């Protein structure tokens, strides 16, 4: 089974699936999490906390903290490799650096590389951009968006 590494913007998309209206979505997400086929990273949890997303997303993240773990040593080395590419240093914006805001992008890709996972992000591949799909492509990591994720796992609601 594929391991999915979910970016902040895709969690926001998942927030549109309100538990009261889409309980099977959350049951299936729970199943993937229990099977260790769904992860994210600490910085995503930090970004979600600051962005005031849907309360049910906050609750889900809080009750699944192990999926939003700190980076491993291998992931830290991989993130250093990502940021060693001068163009990819743009993943961390000046405002984020100055404010000390969380930045998940290099960690999402690094976790995808180390765990051989598929990154789920709403960012799109753009020529010469410093976006998650470009970094994924550079490091040979598969990526998709929330719609692609739903198609891959075969969920229909």
For residue 6, the SS3 value is strand
pLDDT tens-digit series, residues 29-51: 999 999 999 999 999 999 999 98
Domains of the chain: residue spans and CATH: 4-153 (3.40.50.1010)
Main-chain dihedrals φ then ψ at residue 118, nearest 5 degrees = -105, 120
Question: What's the pTM value of the predicted model, to 2 decimals?
Answer: 0.95
pLDDT tens-digit series, residues 70-81: 999 999 999 999
| Mean pLDDT (the chain, rounded) | 95
Lookup: tokens for 11: 């969690």
- How many percent of the chain have pLDDT more than 70? 100
Helices (H) and strands (E) in the chain, counts: 9, 4
pLDDT tens-digit series, residues 82-119: 999 999 999 998 888 878 789 999 999 999 999 999 99
State residue 101's pLDDT score: 85
Name residue 120's beta-bridge partners.
Answer: 6, 144
Mean pLDDT of 134-147: 98
């Amino acid at each position: 089974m594929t391991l999915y590494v979910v970016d902040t913007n895709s969690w926001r998309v998942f927030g549109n699936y309100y538990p009261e209206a889409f309980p099977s979505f959350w049951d299936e997400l729970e199943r993937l999490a229990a099977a260790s086929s769904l992860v994210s990273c600490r910085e995503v949890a930090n970004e979600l906390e600051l962005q005031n997303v849907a309360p049910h997303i906050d609750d889900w993240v809080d009750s699944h903290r192990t999926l939003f773990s700190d980076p491993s040593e291998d992931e830290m080395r991989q993130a250093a490799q990502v940021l060693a590419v001068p163009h990819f240093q743009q993943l961390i914006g000046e405002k984020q650096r100055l404010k000390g805001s969380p930045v998940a992008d290099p960690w999402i890709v690094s976790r995808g590389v180390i765990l051989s996972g598929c990154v789920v992000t709403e960012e799109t591949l753009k020529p010469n951009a410093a976006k998650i799909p470009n970094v994924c492509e550079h490091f040979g990591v598969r990526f998709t968006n929330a719609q692609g994720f739903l198609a891959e796992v075969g969920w229909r609601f």
